[in-house]
Structure 1
Amino acid sequence: MLRRRLQPESHAARDVLIHAGPGAGKTLGALLAFQAMQQEGRLEHALVFCHRTSILSQWQSSAARLGLKLELWSGQNQLNGDVDGWLVSYQGAGRQQHNLSADLQRWNAETLLAIADEAHHLGVDPDEPDGPVWGHTFLELSNRARLRLGLTGTPFRADNLAFCAARRVRVEEQGQLVEQIHPDLSVEPRELIAAGDVRPLEFRFQDGWVEHGQEGIPDREISPLSAEQRESWRARNLRRAIRLSDSSSIAQQLLLRARKQLEKVRNEHPRAGGLVIARDIEHARAITLLLEEEGDRVDLVHSQDSEAAARLSGFQAGQADWLVSIDMCAEGFDASRIRVVAYLTTVVTRSRFVQGITRAVRMCGERANLESIPREPSYVFAPADPLLMQYARSWSLSEPYRIAVPAVADDQDPTEIGGSWRGPSLPMEAIEDGAGAVIRMKTPELPRFLQR
């Protein structure tokens, strides 16, 4: 595909978007493609943008295994002939955009490949030229590149903005024209599951009742976690459900069940580990304390921790049983030993949920030779929030990403579009919950001919 775009007679756009789930080999595939076209004399250098500095080292080590030399750009790099490319974070590129732009002038733009890792972060709002910074920075720095390759595991955004390195297509939907992002190549998670490249997921949603009331007022309301459709109550129920209030709380029962599941997995996979995605630092510390009281080795990482990178590397090497994180491991983090994920945050966008749970789908080489296809599943534990359960039903399927949402007709109920529920907003305080049944959900079953 990239080679065809480099043909002199090609008039196709220079933006190429690859959508493939975690574990599909996007990093390795992009590097192999660049290396092949470099050897053919079509490309000389690559400039790789990543959304986190911790991901840059993963690209660098993958490149080194192929004999490619990618250096971390710092603004003080000396241009030398044996460097195949530079690595830079979106934030770092924005801070030193002028210097990086000047350095890029030394390279031949006609043989430069710009790679945007997790390209959906590069939102661009045409109505706000000073809006999302990362997208505009990438566009300006890559405007001379011969090709721009976007890689993403979740080709959509919660705000419906278009993003860089992606082809926009107009389609008719229910009599109206809408714009969609169309990847040039899409590999769905269900295809990877069928091929044995990644693990299927099984979900354990912890249900329960949340009792609401006000101090000094005897009248109380009881609201079921899994069935609450009023947005204000649904959000309040989830906030209450993730608290570690006592031994009967939904969150505490969820974590204890996740621990038992990890122990079962370790009977067959001794190096297996778990990941907990927490709400904030205080919440993460409470979770860490609970797991440590149960006898587990726990690594807590967050963006304010100066030793976060070392802790992540230590977890990847197997030094802890659980990794507790707020915002550093939901996307791009590679640790194939993760087999259990506990999702205990109030962030309920589809992109964040899918990125979080798919940390557990990666296969490692040592296990690939021991397991049949389909692979042994990994497990996701989460509160029985209606939105999260909705996302779980379709996590392995790709849906078109709509840029322009059709306007709501005057006679149409706005709650029928996008799940935007609205309900009464009452000054209530959740004072008690009760952990109830566990709602089980599996990855959509594969056709029999794919289960060989």
Structure 2
Amino acid sequence: MKLPDIQSSPHLPLRDWQQRCLTQALQQLSPFQPHFLCQATPGAGKMLMAAVLAHQLLERGDVDFVLYLGPSKEVISRAEQTLAEVTGLMMNGKLGARGGCYTYQSLWSRLPVFQQLGAQYRVLLIWDESHHAGRLPGTQKGANVWGQALLILERCVTYTLALSGTPWRTDGKCLPLLRYLDAQVSVDDEEDDSALKQRLVPDFVYTLQEAVRDGVCRTPYIWLIDNSHIQLTMTHAKGKKPPKQKRFSSIPHLLRHPGIGYADLLRHEAPMARVLTQGVAKLAALRQAQTSAGGLVVASDIEHAEEIAEWLKGQGEDVCLVTSQTPNAHAKLQAFRESSQAWVVAVGMISEGVDIPRLRVCCYLSRIRTEQYFRQVLGRIIRRMGLHDDDCYLFVVNESLLCRYAERIADDFPDDNAVVRVIPLEVASPMPGYGNTSPVMPLDSVTLVEEAIPASVTEVAGIAFGTSTATTATSTVSSQWEHDVAYSQRFSKHLATLEL
């Protein structure tokens, strides 16, 4: 069956990196090399490049249909819109369409239909956020469910285009359909759970450093909120022993205590309020010059998101809450995208692939501590809109892994001498102006030796931040002591901006 000819359709002009990637993909894709991986930093505009590639392959008759796979309904909705706008064709998978956009979750149920389509026509498969699929290193075996479906579908399609800003998996698995080379793993890599014994070979790479240099992405400033005077009071649950007190010089040192976890810390109002207060102040400063500038809060779960939204509303902020349980969540997110509303609070709906360029501030209060997720969240606030929005701000609790990820982002800017800086509150405030020009002091690296605490005895654990009269929240955990953590308001700190 002969399909209708493709008519040229106008689209936004491509950036230099998009044009270079497009040219290389058109030259490289062939029956002998049918797979292409574009690794471009989150926020750089991969989807537009992919849509133009799809249009040109359709126009010159190399493919007949386009299939797009993405991680969420929000992401595939935007992809469908971009593909339709660029190609001038319906991409909704309905009768008369020249393509369709689907989630990875739906792939297995639709696989027979896609196989039949590939058997009769030439198909381009675009699989976005490709790190969602995995397989064992050195083989196409051991793939996860989505990886298995992709391996089956790959046999039926003509070309594949993989898109990702973070093309690795935290479980150490490789991505299917892509090329890897054996590489010597360094000592540092062996300590990293995400390190692979095989190294991915992308076909095209566009880094965050290049994107900032080209004016495609904003310069990110990452503030790690900490405290230098933390007091831990340990009280026996039955009052049989006198209270014991311990002091900690930072949150990383506190979190080495076996009875206090990072996820628990996020749920207490004081550290949550410290992070949010800084974000609110920074966004207010940015909105004086850019009234549409927005802020994002990434919460740990739905209940946590609701608590955060209530806290922000209590401060007089205009808040949009979107979670998987929010009625018409996608419509609310679209309304937020087109409005000038200040804040949006979510759990996972805006963590990757979602394009809201007016977002310039993010408060990271997620319990997820992987570098991939951290970079994906940062990618939500780095895409530029114009000439006067060249910076963005990420506020995070100073936890050791998150600090390491921040330092690695700094390493992406070797020519700019990006460093992790400690900014005491009493010396300078991060709120006015842009960037950081304040005097700095070195990051504390004191090693704390913890006392052994039996885990077999039930205790009541409470964490209080602020003054000694602060109310203590209680919950049942397994250990011997009651914990009362008091944070000095005077010595509250903002650890470390990455002055990129």
Q: If the length of structure 2 is used for normalisation, what is the TM-score?
A: 0.73
Does 2:114 correspond to 1:100? Answer: yes
SS in structure 2 of the partner of residue 157 of structure 1: coil
Unpaired runs of at least 5, structure 2: 1-23, 191-195, 414-448, 456-478
CA distance in 2, matches of 1:270, 1:292: 19
Does 2:202 correspond to 1:178? Answer: no
CA contact (8 A) 2:292 2:340 kept: no
Does 2:137 correspond to 1:114? Answer: no
CA contact (8 A) 1:154 1:351 kept: yes
Q: Deviations over 1:395-427 (max 9, x none)?
A: 26669xxxxxxxxxxxxxxxxxxxxxx986762
SS in structure 2 of the partner of residue 285 of structure 1: helix
Residues 54, 232 of structure 1: alpha-carbon distance in 2 compared, 3 angstrom cutoff:
farther
CA distance in 2, matches of 1:279, 1:50: 23
Partner of 1:62: 82
The root-mean-square deviation of aligned C-alpha atoms, in Å, is 2.9
Give the aligned residue type for 2:131. H
CA contact (8 A) 1:45 1:113 kept: yes
Give the aligned residue type for 1:263. A
Residues 332, 7 of structure 1: alpha-carbon distance in 2 compared, 3 angstrom cutoff:
closer
How many Å apart are 1:98 and its aligned residue? 2.7
Partner of 1:242: 266
CA distance in 1, matches of 2:71, 2:30: 31
Within 5 Å, give how 1:6-405 maps onto structure 2: 6-7=29-30, 11=32, 13-73=33-93, 77-78=94-95, 80=96, 83-108=97-122, 112-125=123-136, 132-173=144-185, 178-208=197-227, 209=230, 211=232, 213-214=234-235, 215=237, 216=239, 217=241, 218-228=243-253, 233=258, 236-245=260-269, 249-318=270-339, 320-364=341-385, 368=386, 370-371=387-388, 376-395=390-409
CA contact (8 A) 2:89 2:98 kept: yes
CA contact (8 A) 1:206 1:254 kept: yes
Residues 312-321 or 128-137, more deviating: 128-137
CA distance in 2, matches of 1:69, 1:282: 41
Q: Deviations over 1:14-49 (max 9, x none)?
A: 221111112212101111122122222222221111
Partner of 2:442: none
Give the aligned residue type for 1:101. Q
Q: Deviations over 1:199-225 (max 9, x none)?
A: 011122110236363443512444444
What is the identity percentage for the equivalent residue pairs of Structure 1 and Structure 2?
25
Unpaired runs of at least 5, structure 1: 400-421, 445-452
Residues 290, 252 of structure 1: alpha-carbon distance in 2 compared, 3 angstrom cutoff:
same
How many Å apart are 1:96 and its aligned residue? 3.1
CA distance in 2, matches of 1:61, 1:205: 37
SS in structure 2 of the partner of residue 336 of structure 1: coil
Number of residue pairs matched? Answer: 400
How many Å apart are 1:120 and its aligned residue? 0.7
Partner of 1:431: 484
SS in structure 1 of the partner of residue 368 of structure 2: coil
SS in structure 1 of the partner of residue 360 of structure 2: strand
Give the aligned residue type for 1:239. A
Partner of 1:4: 27
SS in structure 1 of the partner of residue 349 of structure 2: coil
